[in-house]
Amino acid sequence: MGAVRVKVPQIRTSILLKITSNEKTNLFNSPSGNYYMQNAPMVLFHPDGNFIISAKITAELREVYDVASLVIYQDNNLWAKLCFGNSIKKETTVVTRGFSDDCNSIKITDDFVYFSIAKKGEEFSFHCSTDNVNWELVRHFRLECNDSSLMLGFAVHCSKGEKFSAVFSDINYSKNVLENMRTYK
């Protein structure tokens, strides 16, 4: 397990990325301080100082805590993930500043979703879409990170089941910034 680091220029690609996670994997620092697990397989790269990334995530969510996500990751104590996950309500995002701040948001009923992460300075926004055209804000937040050590990418984990896979497709990356971080414009 662990992160795979790759160099990625500005891209618009039809490449498919499939990540499979074994059992008992996670990317979570419990708010209680009693549980830290960071063994989720990730594919990460160093992004530009400002960026927009979007991807279609396809997965069959079976077990509670089957999760496929877009991730911004600096270190074990500073990261955030936009999750297509089978949480108790099948709707979650997590921001971690030492301890994880788990937030249920939009329920997805299909086996796929489009996600986007945008960064402008220390401002981040997470958006989702069911059609890759109409985007809805999931979370807007500040995360003070070091651009030289910040990484961006894809992760999956499987806390309860035996194995979990997700496919990331329609991947678009740009060093452009959103004019309005809340409305995806």
CA 84/CA 113 separation, integer angstroms: 7
pLDDT over 80 (residue 127): yes
**How would residue 41 be classed by pLDDT, with cut points 50, 70 and 90?**
very high
**How would residue 90 be classed by pLDDT, with cut points 50, 70 and 90?**
low
Which of 141, 34, 148, 24 has its CA nearest to residue 81?
Answer: 141
CA 77/CA 90 separation, integer angstroms: 24
pLDDT over 70 (residue 78): yes
**How would residue 169 be classed by pLDDT, with cut points 50, 70 and 90?**
very high
**How would residue 114 be classed by pLDDT, with cut points 50, 70 and 90?**
very high
pLDDT over 60 (residue 47): yes
Q: How many CA atoms lie within 13 A of 34 on its CB side?
A: 1
Which residues on neighbouring strands pair with residue 27, listed in sequence order? 38
Average pLDDT estimate for 104-133: 90
Q: Could you tell me the pTM of the whole model?
A: 0.87
Beta-carbon contacts of residue 40 (< 8 Å; ≥ 6 apart): 1, 21, 25, 26, 27, 67, 155, 156, 157
Per domain, the residue ranges of the chain are 3-174
Domain 3-174 in CATH 3.40.50.11930: no
